[in-house]
Amino acid sequence: MPKKSNRVIILGSAVVLILIIAPIGSYFFLKHGIEYRIESLDQLSPKTIDSELSGYLDNFIPENGNARLIHIPGKERSGELDLLYKIDERITDRERFDIYSFAKDADHEDLRDIKFIMNGSPPNSDLQFILIDTSNVIRSTYAYDENTGKEIIRHLSVVIPMPKQKKIVLDR
């Protein structure tokens, strides 16, 4: 008789898990994702920067419909280039995202996917990174510190457009 009661307990536990625990867990998981996206969208409201710097950037950055991260070297130049390298490694969808840098003597072997702008230097700025979306709107600006990379990666997940989904076609 004890074998039958163990089986009932196992089946009852499985039913409870499937009908109650899994939906509740899914709800909290999806709720967290929605809150994350809403918070990121609030942080990415359009920004304005110095008109001289904005005009200067317009001269060098082509409008090709991609989201862009622009790097203006600051005091922590080597750390900033290391951060660009880490961001470059993390981004797999390079068809809709470009990285530009005004670093003139950067190591091109490590930073092979980053486009370096060699002619001219931007006006002095406290900003080291500028994030521009596909509509050519400045979404965020960053001064370099130890948390900048995490924040940029988080914002890129919102700014880079989702790939177009192919329609599902039944082959009959």
**Domain check: are 38 and 60 in the same one?**
no
- Note whether 122 and 91 are same-domain residues: yes
Give Cβ neighbours of residue 76 (< 8 Å, ≥ 6 apart): 128, 144
Q: In a 3-state reduction of DSSP, which class is residue 125?
A: coil
Amino acid at 137: V
What pLDDT is stored for residue 83 in this prediction? Answer: 85
| 61 and 18 both lie in a single domain | no
Is 151 in the same domain as 109?
yes
The answer to pTM > 0.75 is no
Backbone phi, then psi, for 169, in 5-degree steps?
Answer: -120, 130
User: Helices 77-90 and 148-159 meet at what angle, rounded to 10?
Assistant: 40
According to DSSP H, which parts of 20-147 are helical?
22-43, 51-60, 77-90
* Mean pLDDT, range 10-16, rounded to an integer: 88
According to DSSP, the residues that pair with 130 across neighbouring strands are: 70, 141
In a domain, 164, yes or no: no
- Reported as a single tens digit per residue, the pLDDT across 110-130 is 556 677 776 666 766 677 888
pLDDT at 3: 67
160-166: average pLDDT = 72
27 confidence band (pLDDT: 50, 70, 90): very high
